[in-house]
């Protein structure tokens, strides 16, 4: 039965959006982290992380078989291929009493913009919701198909 394929498509998107949510959480949690990584004997602040999404490319045996049988090729969902770091410069904040302040009294703060993260978070939530709707639609169709011939 190949309706399970549409379950897999929606499920892959749910996984991807949840991971995106995890990344947003990490960014917000570390919005003030000045010691994100130890590089060349000194601390570097946390860098904002972003997800890279791509349509799912890999073919399973069933996919190959289906396309060989001449069935139209639909997509196979979405996948997060990598988590990239934002290369934007760090924010410089004047705070001479901070333990990580440089000789001029400036502290490098993470390049996380909480506003941006909030927007990303809402976007991920809405995308998650719409995929749940699609999944429920597939499910109710599947349930309806079980009624054939009753």
Q: How far is the CB of 59 from other proteins (least distance, A)?
A: 14
Q: Which is nearer to other proteins, 9 or 112 (CB)?
A: 9
Q: Which of 105, 83, 86, 104 is nearest to 46 (CA)?
A: 86
CA trace torsion 113, 117, 118, 124 (10° rounding): 170
Kindly state the number of chain residues that form the binding site for other proteins, as judged by CB under 8 A: 37
Q: How far is the CB of 28 from other proteins (least distance, A)?
A: 19
DSSP, collapsed to helix, strand or coil, labels residue 73 as coil
9 is a contact residue toward other proteins (CB under 8 A): yes
72 is a contact residue toward other proteins (CB under 8 A): yes
At 68, list the tokens. 């060989």
Q: How far is the CB of 86 from other proteins (least distance, A)?
A: 16
3's CB contacts (< 8 A; 6+ apart) are: 138, 141, 142, 145
Q: Which is nearer to other proteins, 29 or 74 (CB)?
A: 74
Q: Which stretch binds other proteins (CB under 8 A): 23-31, 38-46, 50-58, 86-94?
A: 50-58
């Amino acid at each position: 039965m190949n309706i399970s394929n549409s379950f897999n498509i929606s499920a892959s998107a749910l996984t991807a959006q949840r991971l995106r949510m995890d990344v947003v959480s990490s960014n917000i949690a570390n919005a003030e982290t000045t010691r994100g990584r130890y590089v060349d004997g000194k601390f570097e602040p946390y860098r904002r992380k972003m997800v890279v999404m791509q349509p799912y490319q890999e073919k399973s045996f069933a996919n190959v078989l289906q396309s060989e049988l001449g069935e139209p090729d639909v997509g196979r969902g979405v996948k997060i291929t990598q988590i990239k770091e934002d290369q934007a410069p760090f924010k410089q904040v004047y705070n001479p009493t901070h333990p990580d302040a440089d000789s001029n009294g400036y502290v490098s703060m993470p390049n996380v913009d909480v506003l941006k993260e909030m927007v990303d978070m809402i976007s991920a939530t809405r995308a998650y919701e719409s995929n749940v709707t699609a999944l429920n639609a597939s499910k109710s169709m599947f349930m309806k198909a079980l009624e054939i011939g009753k």
